[in-house]
Structure formats: C-alpha cells, structure tokens
Amino acid sequence: MKKTSYHHGNLKEEFLKISFNFIKTEDIEKLTLKILSEATGTSRSAIYRHFSSKDTLIETMIKSCFSELEKEISPPLLDKEGDIIDRLNLSLKKYLEFARNNPHMYQLLFAKKYSNIREELVTVEDSDISGFANLKRAIEEGQESGVIKKEDSYNQAIIIWASLHGLSSMFGDGFLNVDEIYTKLSTTVIEQTISGLLV
C-alpha cells in the first residue's frame, strides 16, 4: 500500500479511510496497525493515540458503518409527512442498495466474529440511532392508521430484516448471480415483504 499525505488534524479519519479501502479487496483479518503506519508514514505511537488496539479500530469501523446505514434507511421511516407504505418501500430499497454498493462494509457489519462488538454498539433499544427501532415504530404507526396488521411489531420488523439481510447476503456472496437480476429481484422481495404486513 502506497504512502499517502495527510494533515495531523484528520489523521484518525485517514486511518479509517485506509482501513475501509483495504477491506474492499482483502480480508479484515489481514489488516494490521503496521499497514496503517506504513501507508501514512506515521509511527505506531501515532496510531495508538487514536486506536488502542486493532479491536478498537474495528469497533470504530463498525460504528461508522452503522452510521452510514442509518443515514440511508432512517430518514424515510421518520418522515411523518409521507405515506407509510411509500416510506417503508423507500427505506427497504435504501437498505438493499447500501448492501449492494458497500459489500465490504455490510459484511463487516454482520460478521459473526465481531457480533459482541456489534451488540455493544447497537441494540433495538437505541431509540434515536437504531434503524431497527425506527422500522418498528414505523410499523406501529401503520398499525395505528389501520394499514398494517396489529400483530407483534418486533416480530414483523424481524421478518422484514430477515428478508432484506438474506437477499443482501446473496448479493455480497455472488450467490446464483443475483446481481444480474437485482432490480427485479429486489423489487419483488420488497413488495412481497410489505404485502405480508398489510391488513
């Protein structure tokens, strides 16, 4: 990896940028603090001022991934002005697009090895930042308006997420070349998933 120029004020951001670029083509297990040091021409001590260990770096990366995902999926869910079904449709579409366009980030988000880090960072109780919590509330909003079945909103949200995650994983793994039929497949999955919620 070639050395890059940086300003001391954004060194932490530079480390993260290099790390995300690295996992686009390499397994995260191969990422080391030495690689960051050599890429930026900095000392190990400079890295330790921002990340005390590789686990701390990965935790920050996962937090950043969640933040990027939330920016995509939550706004439609929180938009009280729009039709609830249209909002759900757009949010689910944004989720699938994020997974497709950022497979390296998506795989890091849901890697089993880092489940303990993920669970510490985001839970369904994180009312303001959790896309899952926002989805659950949107479902409850639809229930109150008589559009969505009055069932357990948590279970309904899990079913939606399971459908999206399954298809997203297929995109990332290249399974059955689903990328070739992305538009048709994603549209069908979203429509059928939402239709299962309707009264």
| Lookup result for tokens 């290249």 | 174
Instruction: Give the per-residue SS3 of 106-129.
Output: HHHHCCHHHHHHHHHHCCCCCCCC
Residue 124, pLDDT score? 45
Closest CA to 95 of 122, 118, 69, 65: 69
Model pTM score? 0.88
Residue 111, pLDDT score? 86
Over the stretch 156-174, which tens digit does the pLDDT of each residue have? 999 999 999 999 998 888 7
Fill in the DSSP letter of residue 175: G
Residue 8, pLDDT score? 52
Residue 177, pLDDT score? 80
Amino acid sitting at position 198? L
What is the tally of helices (H) and strands (E) in the chain?
10, 0
Q: Are the CB atoms for 135 and 77 separated by under 8 Å?
A: yes
Residue 162, pLDDT score? 95
- For the chain, residues with pLDDT lower than 70 are 1-9, 122-129
Q: What is the DSSP string of 43-111?
A: -HHHHHTT-SSHHHHHHHHHHHHHHHHHHHHHHHHH-TTS-HHHHHHHHHHHHHHHHHH-HHHHHHHT-
Residue 9, pLDDT score? 55
